Structure 1
């Protein structure tokens, strides 16, 4: 049976149910392939890993790292690379052929080019020998395949993660409703910027403090994409009149850009958005200067904890993205990157199998609990009904979160201890589940375009820069159309043609 690359919302809900059954079944098995593989040779396996840094990088030989090593029979050396520098560093490492044994990368043009150049092991044929890896829902593998082949192990993530985390106290005080139409977004931004909701006598509050990832071409979580999809735009790529076209060539997306242009012109968004790092935008929320976060719905409680340190009386809530036609959000690819195994550093099939055994063991219950909950007695306590109650979230975020976000584990509905949830946490997870029904797939997620593989980074940069210039008023609508025309001439038309050809071959 041919696998589908485009997942309908109906199928997505079925996948969620199937995944729950699969993960429950995993808990009943002992991962024998992992046990045999990790100790197949004398001495611990050396596992070198390169991954983007999440928060503050942990030190060497942390307690969590030592626990992983002891359980898996390995010696781990993780290179934490600052997220802002990761793509450049990745490209340098690939070009110099000096890569770790396990390399966390994302699905973009430079990645596709490296994979198609034969630099990494194809791992699909091996997975049947590793019970936990084999039982991950196939969708997560399908969404990172290249030419129908699997080269990586995904970091499992939910598909409908988007949520609007907001300061309910500010919204109530200003008489605002959750924005649905673009005019609602404008009125909310104007009220927050001009009516001084933090009562400090300064115009320093924003509805949303944007950062330079606002229009990330590789991320369906980018704010501009989420906003435009809620208004009817496609998720990165969509089908219009039988042709696959990019989001920025649709009217709803253009309308969203016009809104941001108006907000910028009236100083209702931060004027330095094009250079602000994500961490700096987070700090504005934490300091109580933003009314809303473009966030993961399940992280609403963490957002509350972070802002409550500076604003103890803050009231935080979370809702779904909604537009004029109802709830609508971009589906995410079901992973936060994936690990590939370079042939230059993993020099034999035997070594590859030992590495796969290591990752297989990370999905077992003890490791899932460690990576998603931490160490019992230090980061969490076990409740009478067998759930994990995080006792020190600050310590958890410092010592556990970097590993949780950078190594594969079944955190959500997985094999580890279920998490004790407060009301806001439970609401966030309910939204993640409810979002599946309204998630809009990216139709080109795994379609291949030789032109995009070769020139995708250049084409993406052209459009990102043009969008920023339009929003900042450096070009008008005619100037924007000229930029799109340049993109099309530079290879965009060919990309659309190749994506359309690939889409028409799918068993839809």
Structure 2
């Protein structure tokens, strides 16, 4: 039974009051035409949409203001199933097996998802995107990174692709005559100087150039510090093409040079000796306490947050952010560019006409009005418009409660979208500029969407083997010959088969 829908028109007018949200009758007509099938065939009434998504934080109240405003603008009726994250994978598997799925189903890449896509359960949407202005505009990598066998089956929840940046203590760097490190030797000299020159002036040897945690060499995440460092030095991003073969990063010279740097730092006690067991939260605490020069496990856009957290303990600290760079200039690993993606099951989306109407709905979510709603909320309640035409949050806690679940579960662009610009301070603006500039120099993971039966079956064992070997090498428990022997063991365990399968898939997709 559908809910009562009182007050929707009032809510829409609230959305449309903000800056670029000033609507006109033609815009509203276009919104209705689009959702009714201007791009997707004939349609008379509101489009009935069922959405399944993992629950982000506390689930919004039924018939919330934000949901009703979305419905009014897009001429739709939403039924959102917020599935608790802890139960999502089990619930997803049951829904896929039974065929009882919502019309738009948010998934992430794993073996179950891949199998379901390859089984033909979902619509291929790639050929349709050109007909939707907003969906066609994002960088193609957002779509390339979720293709299966070269075809697109999902709409991503867009996230920035080149997020790496060096967030650092500018006050320490200036006092010690340091610049942001570029070469391997620069990184060594920076670490040595910070450890030995007592930049916090407390007379104790308790400062670090950087404080690593155990995720430093995560085998999957392109945001892992060792991958960021090695890519800047010329290595591939997780997997790269070398002499016609798709090979892992750890088999390349720039990556091994970066690994040798960490080994040297460990041997000279210039890096925390417990890095292999440290949690990310503990590394954050060291930064927040004013003991670290570079915060490595973060993104450029969070530099201002890092500064604010630090200033609680060190009020006069000065923080800056700059791009990762190596001998060849700015070079950063491309991250997947999504936080999951929506697929459209054939069991619930019965026709091409209905698929097109659903795509029109998602296209509308990227328009200025909806972009502002999803990323800023309602004017006068969640944000106010500043004199220079930007948005400033009034109540961030209320925003997180009422708006953030929709922002995190529906496609939008946080800062670079078409909605009302967010008022940023100088460090925030610089962090976002680093991300924007990085996009020109991102290095893709060439195996991100390639299939390998061996990796699906044995990837966890292979990853654990090489991660342990890297940690042992850094800690001096393996010499260079011993580390190379561990790589050979990895190859015999199935690594060579993975290389062979990835290379064959890469060649097939490039035909």
User: What TM-score does the superposition give when structure 1 sets the normalisation length?
Assistant: 0.79
Tell me the distance in 2 between the aligned counterparts of 1:441 and 1:483: 26
Q: Where does residue 70 of structure 2 map in the other structure?
A: 71
Q: For structure 1, which runs of at least 5 residues remain unmatched after alignment? A: 1-26
Write out per-residue CA displacement over residues 295-348 of structure 1, whole angstroms, 9 at most, x where no aligned residue: 32233223222322332211111111111232222233333332345678x585
How far apart, CA to CA, are the structure 2 residues paired with 1:280 and 1:374? 33
- Where in structure 2 are the equivalents of 1:387-466 lying within 5 Å? 387-390=390-393, 403-466=406-469
Q: 1:388·1:419 contact (CA, 8 Å) conserved in 2? A: yes
1:189-213 superposed Cα distances (whole Å, 9 cap, x missing partner): 2333344433455544332232333
Contact 1:210 1:281 in 2 (8 A): yes
Gaps of 5+ in 2: 1-26, 72-76
Deviations 1:262-320 (A, max 9, x none): 33344433344334443443343333332212332233223222322332211111111
CA 1:275–1:67 in structure 2 vs 1: closer, same or farther (change >3 Å)? farther
Following the alignment from structure 1 to structure 2, what is the Cα–Cα distance between the partners of residues 385 and 155? 29
Contact 1:50 1:100 in 2 (8 A): no
How far the C-alpha of 1:136 sits from its partner, in A, is: 4.3
1:78 aligned counterpart, secondary structure: strand
Change over 3 Å in CA distance of 1:203–1:91 after alignment to 2:
farther
Query: Rg: which structure is higher?
Result: 2
Q: Identify the match of residue 219 of structure 2 among 199, 217, 220.
A: 217
Shift of the alpha carbon at 1:222? 1.5
Query: What is the TM-score of this pair, normalised by structure 2?
Result: 0.78
Contact residue 109 and residue 456 of structure 1 kept, 8 A: no
Please say if 1:301 is aligned against 2:304. Answer: yes
1:324-335 pair list within 5 angstroms? 324-335=327-338
Distance 2:136 2:400 in 1: 30
- The residue number in structure 1 matching 2:177 is 175
1:459 & 1:97 partners in 2: Cα distance?
31
Q: 1:228 aligns with which of 227, 230, 238?
A: 230
Whole-angstrom distance in 2 between the partners of 1:278 and 1:393: 25
Q: Specify the alignment match of 1:61 in structure 2.
A: 61
Bigger CA drift: 200-209 or 149-158? 200-209
Partner Cα separation in structure 2 for residue 200 and residue 105 of structure 1: 50
Of 477, 486, 491, which aligns to 2:489?
486
The aligned runs of 1:103-502 (5 Å cut-off) are 104-107=106-109, 111-118=113-120, 120-124=122-126, 127=129, 132-200=134-202, 202-294=204-296, 295-340=298-343, 346=348, 359-390=362-393, 403-502=406-505
SS of the aligned residue for 2:215 comes to helix
Give the aligned partner of residue 23 of structure 1.
Answer: none
Structure 1 residue 141 displacement after superposition: 1.7
CA distance in structure 2 between the aligned counterparts of 1:417 and 1:323, rounded to whole angstroms: 36
- Partners of 1:268 and 1:117 lie apart in 2 by 52
Is contact 1:208–1:269 with CA below 8 Å preserved after alignment? yes
CA distance in 2, matches of 1:442, 1:31: 40
SS in 1 for 2:342: strand
In structure 2, which of residues 38, 52, 67 is the aligned counterpart of residue 48 of structure 1? 52
Query: 2:31 — aligned with what?
Result: 30
* Aligned residue-pair number: 469
Matches of 2:217 and 2:486 in 1, distance apart? 16
User: Distance between the aligned counterparts of 1:481 and 1:364, measured in 2?
Assistant: 53
Q: List per-residue Cα deviations over 1:399-457 (Å, max 9, x = no partner).
A: 65565444310334322112333322222232223223332232333333333344333
1:389 is paired with a residue whose SS is: strand
Comparing 143-152 with 421-430, greater Cα deviation is found at: 421-430
**Paired residues of 1:40 and 1:354 also in contact (CA < 8 A):** no
CA distance in 1, matches of 2:191, 2:106: 37
